[in-house]
Amino acid sequence: MSNGGRDLSKVWTAGLAVIGDEILSGRTQDKNIAQVATWLNAQGIRLAEVRVVPDVEARIVEAVDALRHRYDYCFTTGGIGPTHDDITVDAIAKALGVPVVIHPAARAILEGYYENRGGLNEGRLRMARVPEGAELIENQMSGAPGIQIGNLFLMAGVPHITAGMLDALTGKLEGGRPLVSVTVGAFAPESEVADMLRMAEQAADGISIGSYPFFKEGRVGSNFVVRSEDADRAQAVADSLADQLADLGYEPVAGGI
Amino acid sequence: MSNGGRDLSKVWTAGLAVIGDEILSGRTQDKNIAQVATWLNAQGIRLAEVRVVPDVEARIVEAVDALRHRYDYCFTTGGIGPTHDDITVDAIAKALGVPVVIHPAARAILEGYYENRGGLNEGRLRMARVPEGAELIENQMSGAPGIQIGNLFLMAGVPHITAGMLDALTGKLEGGRPLVSVTVGAFAPESEVADMLRMAEQAADGISIGSYPFFKEGRVGSNFVVRSEDADRAQAVADSLADQLADLGYEPVAGGI
């Protein structure tokens, strides 16, 4: 793992593979994309692409191979539990061309965790399996650790367990500048101010402006999100945008909705 | 568009491209994956893959090209609004090698919708732009329609507008058998019953069993989701699983959590 330094000369990127039939069936509403994205940004790393794939080895291998070569980091969520449908470790080992081994420290963690919970059985021991050469990521919520190997980070599928693993990784990855977002909210239909937004974006180097409509109490409004690596510039563009909207008579919504 | 018939001899599939910087930045929690997945399944179509990509033309083209060739249908959400960051139509036209044109019926819809809302301006007219040869998908919530061309379906990014567009498409796409899911819930740690689950899946043709832990009031439990195109078989396997869990003394949770 790197030392969590900042290399401000480049834009650091990550891909995310969300693994699980339950997401693709619609049974489970994914929450990991947003939380991984938010956490990555705080590390100075941009989430550049997500792929959601089923619990099928070849499909996991394909997605992970695409993402790990293309971006600085590749995260996965899901498929590292104790049951037969948890096949992420096998898929990653296949992608990397290494065998699956029992990690001694993971085994010790699980032995301790399950000591008063019925002991280690075959299913539970599955959670000590890692691609050879892997390190562990602390699981602050339950026993089974996450897994890091090369630029790959294998996280749990259950969001609060993933959150704990992200917390354990905070400050440990090399990154650059976080992207700063400043939101300007107003009861302005975006279709009325599209030209103004376009001109504001074109006039300022190194900023982008996203426009997201909202509907509140029967009224139409928009959140205009100014993004830049330069916090001062983002704020200045946002302030100018807010002034222009006020001049046009649109009611502001502080901080957006 | 097809006649909404059922061809039960094949598994119909779809890919989904979620387009938008706001998803990749973590600002917006995606809700379209789950709702598109659920709707597709009711049409007898399986969501097989999702890619989330930024508001960058080349990245949209790449994702859509991969998905439209690989699956029977390709849906997109996001990027069909009136502002400069809405570039899905241009990207799709580029992917298909056709020009972008103003669709006369879309223009008429927008003229009507905005008649008492300030009239049609340049930004609003953007929402009448379609890849040449496209048909419209009714927008039951606001003016601007969705777009269908070939096996591509371009939907809004705002979830309730997407929902209305899906509703307008209900029954109109050719599909096969929906996948039936039966959930068996119990206060059983999945790691204690992993072997049983594996054997249950192996013993029954044409079914899969997913295992998803939950945590409620300090207790650990699991939802075991039995999936099959054959509703009777799914129910029989679920009933058998519930009996085995009860025999082992695990407290049931009717319908899961």
Listing DSSP states for A48-71 in one string gives EEEEEE-S-HHHHHHHHHHHHHHS
Pairing status of strand B45-53 against strand B12-19: parallel
Q: Do A123 and B84 touch (CB under 8 A)?
A: no
Q: Greatest CA separation found in chain A?
A: 68
Residue with tokens 């809700």: B31
Choose the CATH number for A180-253 among 1.10.490, 3.40.1350, 3.30.70, 1.10.10: 3.30.70
Q: In the 8-state DSSP scheme, what is residue A126?
A: G
Q: Do A123 and B208 touch (CB under 8 A)?
A: no
pLDDT at position A97: 97
pLDDT in tens, A175-211: 999 999 999 999 999 999 999 999 999 998 889 999 9
Q: Does A66 touch chain B (CB under 8 A)?
A: no
Tell me the C-alpha distance between B148 and A241, whole Å. Answer: 35
Q: Does A47 touch chain B (CB under 8 A)?
A: yes
Q: What are phi and psi of A256, to 5 degrees?
A: 75, -175
- Give B196→chain A minimum CA distance, Å: 10
Residues of A in contact with B52 (CB under 8 A): 33, 49-52
User: Cβ–Cβ contacts within 10 Å for residue B58, how many?
Assistant: 10
Host H or E run for residue B185: strand B180-186
Q: Do A83 and B50 touch (CB under 8 A)?
A: no
Per-domain boundaries in chain B:
12-169, 180-253
Give the best residue of A36, A56, A85, A190 to mutate against chain B (max B CB count within 10 A). A85
pLDDT above 80 for A8: no
pLDDT at position A1: 47
Q: Please list the alpha-helical segments (H only) found in chain B.
A: 21-24, 32-42, 57-70, 88-96, 104-113, 122-125, 159-169, 194-203, 231-247
- Mean per-residue pLDDT for B103-113? 96
Tell me the C-alpha distance between A58 and A141, whole Å. Answer: 30
For B74-93, give one letter per residue: b (16+ CB within 10 A) or e.
bbbbbbbbbbbbbbbbbbbb
pLDDT at position A127: 96
Locate the chain B residue with the closest alpha carbon to A56.
Answer: B48
Residue with tokens 């519930």: B242
Locate the chain B residue with the closest alpha carbon to A179.
Answer: B25
Q: Percent of chain B having pLDDT more than 70?
A: 98
pLDDT in tens, A217-228: 889 999 999 999
Q: Do A22 and B121 touch (CB under 8 A)?
A: no
Task: Provide the token pair at A111.
Answer: 């032995």
Give the best residue of A77, A84, A190 to mutate against chain B (max B CB count within 10 A). A84
Q: Does B192 touch chain A (CB under 8 A)?
A: yes
- Residue A3 pLDDT level (bands cut at 50, 70, 90): low
- Residue B3 pLDDT level (bands cut at 50, 70, 90): low
Tell me the C-alpha distance between A229 and A36, whole Å. Answer: 19
Host H or E run for residue B226: strand B219-228
pLDDT at position B7: 80
Tell me the C-alpha distance between A198 and A230, whole Å. Answer: 19
Instruction: Specify whether the backbone of A75 is left (phi greater than 0), alpha (psi in -120 to 50) or beta.
Output: beta
- Comparing CB atoms, the residue among B31, B50, B181 nearest residue A27 is B181
Residue A185 β-bridge partners: A223, A253
Tell me the C-alpha distance between A41 and A177, whole Å. Answer: 8
Sheet holding B208-216, edge to edge: B208-216, B219-228, B180-186, B252-253
Give the best residue of A16, A19, A21, A24 to mutate against chain B (max B CB count within 10 A). A24
pLDDT in tens, A21-70: 999 999 999 999 999 999 999 999 999 999 999 999 999 999 999 999 99
pLDDT in tens, B14-67: 999 999 999 999 999 999 999 999 999 999 999 999 999 999 999 999 999 999
**How many A-B residue pairs are in contact by the CB < 8 A criterion?**
206
- A57 class by beta-carbon count within 10 Å (0-12 exposed, 13-18 middle, 19+ buried): middle
Tell me the C-alpha distance between B99 and A79, whole Å. Answer: 43
- Mean per-residue pLDDT for A117-131? 93
pLDDT at position A5: 76
Q: Does B143 touch chain A (CB under 8 A)?
A: no
Find out whether B25 and B192 touch, Cβ atoms under 8 Å.
no
Residue A152 β-bridge partners: A74, A149
User: Cβ–Cβ contacts within 10 Å for residue A58, how many?
Assistant: 10
Q: Do B22 and A179 touch (CB under 8 A)?
A: no
Q: What is the mean pLDDT of chain B?
A: 94
- Give A141→chain B minimum CA distance, Å: 11
pLDDT at position B180: 93
Domain B12-169 has CATH 3.40.980.10: yes
Tell me the C-alpha distance between A247 and B137, whole Å. Answer: 37
Q: Does B104 touch chain A (CB under 8 A)?
A: no
- Give B12→chain A minimum CA distance, Å: 14
- Give B2→chain A minimum CA distance, Å: 23
pLDDT at position B162: 97
Q: Do B212 and A179 touch (CB under 8 A)?
A: no
Locate the chain A residue with the closest alpha carbon to B22.
Answer: A210
- Residue B257 pLDDT level (bands cut at 50, 70, 90): confident
Residues of B in contact with A59 (CB under 8 A): 49
pLDDT in tens, B197-242: 999 999 988 899 999 999 888 899 999 999 999 999 999 999 999 9
Locate the chain A residue with the closest alpha carbon to B51.
Answer: A51
Residues of B in contact with A41 (CB under 8 A): 25-26
- Comparing CB atoms, the residue among A50, A179, A215 nearest residue B51 is A50
Nearest alpha carbon to residue A13 among A181, A209, A151: A151
Find out whether B59 and B92 touch, Cβ atoms under 8 Å.
no
- Comparing CB atoms, the residue among A48, A118, A198 nearest residue B192 is A118
pLDDT at position B255: 82
